Chains A and B, each alone.
Chain A
Amino acid sequence: MENNNNNHQQPPKDNEQLKSFWSKGMEGDLNVKNHEFPISRIKRIMKFDPDVSMIAAEAPNLLSKACEMFVMDLTMRSWLHAQESNRLTIRKSDVDAVVSQTVIFDFLRDDVPKDEGEPVVAAADPVDDVADHVAVPDLNNEELPPGTVIGTPVCYGLGIHAPHPQMPGAWTEEDATGANGGNGGN
């Protein structure tokens, strides 16, 4: 019950803070010469894709700015998640929760369960893992309406709980199929 109340209060805060964030972002971070990330490193990561042959100079510069926005976006949502627990420190579990709750971060879910797996091997607290899994379905219910712009979200680590009967637990191949479907739609 309390969780539901918290979830109900979360969307307004998200929208308000994120809107103010983007307005500030447009003002302060548009300096062309101010690069937070090394362009050479971004270019190297881009070239890991064997299909990528040539890259215009403006592309890694632009992607550097996009990465700043991505980091700030992910951090702000993680901070909101931490504040729900009255904490002032963002933890890995906050980032993982945001990844599993937010539709635009679908592409990151291949790694999150594995990251969670390693701590378990290192004697992490099973109770915390169970709590995270229990909490996620409700948050998904809250997040789904605004996130329906994208295709169907798929949760690897949540297959056991089956939060949405219409969407069965997904495997890597099914995810690839979904990705292909998305590309087809584009």
Chain B
Amino acid sequence: MTEESPEEDHGSPGVAETNPGSPSSKTNNNNNNNKEQDRFLPIANVGRIMKKVLPGNGKISKDAKETVQECVSEFISFVTGEASDKCQREKRKTINGDDIIWAITTLGFEDYVAPLKVYLCKYRDTEGEKVNSPKQQQQRQQQQQIQQQNHHNYQFQEQDQNNNNMSCTSYISHHHPSPFLPVDHQPFPNIAFSPKSLQKQFPQQHDNNIDSIHW
């Protein structure tokens, strides 16, 4: 496995170099440009970073930028291959930041390690902040549950109202005769009430009927 990786890494640059070396038709040039764009980092970004370490009067030739551009791709493949080998030895499938730092240390770039560790800590802290958003979602779910409870209370009140209606209905059904008939037929023979008091009760029953209809 270790032998194959270097060979493949060696093959890729060869292909990249061969294409630019033999320009022929426009189509081939376009294909070469596409391949280069896929294989290298943007040369504008490379040039911008190169200028960071130069004084104001320093300049960089295009050939130098292109060479550094190729070197960076080799650097990425070199570090990635080393990190991938480590993951395989440890039977892990995912390359993480610690593997990258280990590979860079192993390959001799010790000066890069301290800043990269600081950077990785900051990156993970930032990533940790993103984890808070699921908690907010949980809070929203709790609020929804509270709303559901309120809705349940409302339903409970409705049930109470239904019970009231039921009691009203049973009250009406209990008095089977028509409320107007008792005036003539003495509906309550067992109860000793004066006709006036009976007449007073009739409007109440009538109101109850109206109320029940309203409910």
Where the two chains meet, the residues of A that have a C-beta atom closer than 8 Å to any C-beta of B are 18, 21-22, 25-26, 29-30, 32-33, 36-38, 41-42, 44-46, 48-59, 61-63, 65-76, 78-79, 88-92, 94-96, 99, 103-105, 107-108, 110-111, 114-115, 118, 149-150, 172, 175-176, 179-180, 183, 186
Contact = CB atoms under 8 A, between A and B. Distances in A.
Contacts of B42: 37-38, 41
A49 B5 contact: yes
A95 B67 contact: yes
A70 B112 contact: yes
Contacts of B96: 56, 58-59
22 contacts: A29-B115, A30-B119, A30-B122, A37-B42, A45-B41, A46-B77, A46-B80, A49-B81, A56-B95, A58-B123, A62-B97, A65-B115, A66-B104, A66-B112, A88-B58, A95-B68, A99-B71, A107-B75, A115-B17, A115-B67, A172-B10, A180-B3
Contact of A54 (B17, B80, B93, B108): B93
B114 A111 contact: no
Contact of A89 (B61, B111, B122, B123): B61
Interface stretch (B47-55, B188-196, B199-207): B47-55
B177 interface: no
A111 B13 contact: yes
Contacts of B3: 176, 180
Given A70-B75, A149-B108, A51 B60 contact: no
A44 B38 contact: yes
A84 to B, nearest CB: 14
Contacts of A186: 106
B13 A110 contact: yes
A53 B95 CA distance: 8
A143 B1 CA distance: 32
**Contact count band on B:** 35 or more
Interface of B: 1-10, 12-14, 17, 21, 38-39, 41-42, 45-46, 48-50, 52-54, 57-61, 63-64, 66-68, 70-81, 83-85, 88, 93-97, 99-101, 104, 106-112, 114-116, 118-120, 122-124, 126-127
A59 B64 contact: no
B17 A58 contact: no
A159 to B, nearest CB: 18
Given A30-B115, A49-B5, 12 more contacts: A38-B42, A49-B80, A55-B95, A58-B124, A70-B71, A74-B71, A75-B49, A90-B58, A91-B61, A149-B108, A172-B10, A176-B7
